[in-house]
Amino acid sequence: MNVTSLAHLQGETPSLHRDVVAGFAAIVGPENVLTGVADRYAYCRDRLPYGLFKLRANNLPGTLPSAILSPATAAEVKAIVDYARQNKLSLIPFGAGSGVLGGTIPLVNEIMVDLKRINRIVDLNTTDGTVTVQAGMNGMQFEQELERNGYTAGHLPQSIAMSTVGGWVACRGAGQASSRYGKIEDIVLGLKAVLPNGKLLEVRPVARRAVGPSIKDLLVGSEGVLGFITEVTLRVWRKPEHTSALVLAFGSLEAGFAALREVVQSELRPEVIRLYDIKESVQRTEGMPEFVERPILCIMKFSGKEALATVERELTLAICRQHDAVVCGNAPYEHWEQTRFHSYSTKWQSDGYYMDTIEVTGTWTHLPQMYEAMRDAAHAIHPDMHFGAHWSHIYPEGACQYMTVRLPPMPEDEAIRLHQLAWEKIENLCLELGGSVAHHHGAGLFRNPWIRKELNEGLNMLQILKDGLDPDNLINPGKLALRQPAGSNWQS
């Protein structure tokens, strides 16, 4: 978007009244209230691909925010919420904006509350094996600090360098070592939050409790609609003393699925398991003779005490060999290790392609059918639509199917129509085949059309909770398929 169109936006979208700016400045300091149009433009979206498509065509995905506030403490967050309630102003919690479903996109000029200044490790308790950290801490800085102390949180998303710990919890995310350590909901023990009514919630970190439904889990995955998570306590593990890689070639995807199911159902827990479909395998194995007869790539990482990790590797390999896998050179593993935290999406976007990723959860019963039906649906939408998939979060009951879809350069309107159609087909097939429409990216705005079917009466329960805590619908309104704010034009 060029300077002329920014000037155009400035005319169209209101910033805050100066009394309100002064009110917020009294809380966070004037230097931590941004109202310039360029700043507001920088905060008008997250990494939702549809948002990028709109910007490429000089349109906003939603609106500009009316301001950006950067509090430094949980007390300042509470003061912001109290002031916003008194003045009926809408707020959006903002971590690092790496979400890919539109969770931080303003719909009615909401005020962004950027939490990145709330970013300290409060306590590393090596007796209990826990770390308490403020929600705005950058993921990579957090993990590196733990590693300097000989620990890991075991949550290593591809976006670790561009996301915050609070964002992980708010989106119910998954890291690349999830097959061993679990998703973030398995790692969070406790948290503190400022609720939409200004009250402070504390869920004390303990191993387990039996006092009604889990209040903690109301906040995990709440995507900002139930308030601001300001602090979390996570499990930590000793940094593994030993790691080893394993690269395998399978004769078919079915053989790979059968082997991985048996591995995890045998209580084996490699730190990393990644199985690639033919499209994604070929990209990673070109020129490797082992893959001519057995074209499906699987990479694994084993870690922990050396004796235990070695046995785990041997037992896993024995199962995979029963499914006719062969061991290959480590090159695909090393390439993955070197690039595991990179983001490639910008290359395709800037070359005029329309790229997106969709992750769903399937059961072992339905995964083969799910894969074939979704791949065929994508190709039926456009013969040149790229469709590739891998499975890298593996559970005894099933796995996450992570798909990349990409349309070639074409007129924007047509691309947006076909892109939407791809989402509709894939998410509807997922529901028909008994899966979950989202494994770890969350729901944001873009998944609104499928949340009712996914949650059924649960969505009404969430709306009742939201209305009780936030009767004026001020805190991240319209996300997670909850009631849209008055004046929103978002179509879903």
Ligand X SMILES: Cc1cc2nc3c(=O)[nH]c(=O)nc-3n(C[C@H](O)[C@H](O)[C@H](O)COP(=O)(O)OP(=O)(O)OC[C@H]3O[C@@H](n4cnc5c(N)ncnc54)[C@H](O)[C@@H]3O)c2cc1C
Catalytic residues: 402
Q: Is position 159 an interface residue for ligand X (rule: CB under 6 A)?
A: yes
Binding residues for ligand X, total number by CB under 6 A: 38
Task: For residue 264, state whether it binds ligand X (rule: CB under 6 A).
Answer: no
Q: Is 77 in the site for ligand X (CB under 6 A)?
A: no
Q: Is 94 in the site for ligand X (CB under 6 A)?
A: yes
Residue 396 — φ and ψ, nearest 5°?
A: -60, -30
Taking the C-alpha atoms of residue 349 and residue 407, their distance in angstroms, rounded to an integer, is: 10
| List 51, 65, 97, 240, residue binding ligand X (CB under 6 A) | 97
Q: Which span (96-104, 126-134, 144-152, 297-305) binds ligand X, by CB under 6 A?
A: 96-104
100 binds ligand X (CB under 6 A): yes
Taking the complex as a whole, the smallest distance from the CB of residue 143 to ligand X amounts, in Å, to 13
With binding defined as CB under 6 A, does residue 228 bind ligand X?
yes
The binder of ligand X chosen from 21, 60, 96, 108 (CB under 6 A) = 96
228 is in an annotated binding site: yes
Contact residue for ligand X among 15, 90, 104, 401 (CB under 6 A): 104
| Residue number, 134 or 281, with CB nearest to ligand X | 134
* Pick 39 or 306: Cβ nearer ligand X: 39
Among 61, 62, 99, 388, binds ligand X (CB under 6 A): 99
Q: Which of 158, 330, 363, 488 binds ligand X (CB under 6 A)?
A: 158
Question: Between 161 and 190, how does the x/- string for binding to ligand X read (CB under 6 A)?
Answer: --xx-xxx-xx-xx----------------
Amino acid at 162: M
Amino acid letter for position 163: S
20 is in an annotated binding site: no
Q: Smallest gap, in angstroms, from Cβ of residue 179 to ligand X?
A: 13
User: CB-wise, 265 or 343, nearer to ligand X?
Assistant: 343
Binder among 54, 294, 323, 441 for ligand X (CB under 6 A):
441
Residue 55 CB, nearest distance to ligand X (Å)? Answer: 15
Q: Which of 110, 223, 280, 427 binds ligand X (CB under 6 A)?
A: 223
In one letter, which amino acid is 39? D
466 binds ligand X (CB under 6 A): no
Q: Is there binding between residue 477 and ligand X (CB under 6 A)? A: no
Pairing state of beta strands 398-407 and 386-391? antiparallel
Least Cα distance to 160 among 177, 140, 184 occurs for 140
Residue 136 annotated as lining a ligand binding site: no
Residue 223, annotated as binding a ligand: yes
What is the C-alpha separation between 172 and 99, in angstroms, rounded? Answer: 11
Rule CB under 6 A: which residues touch ligand X? 46-47, 92-100, 103-104, 115, 135, 157-159, 163-164, 166-168, 170-171, 173-174, 223-224, 228-229, 343, 345, 440-442, 476, 479
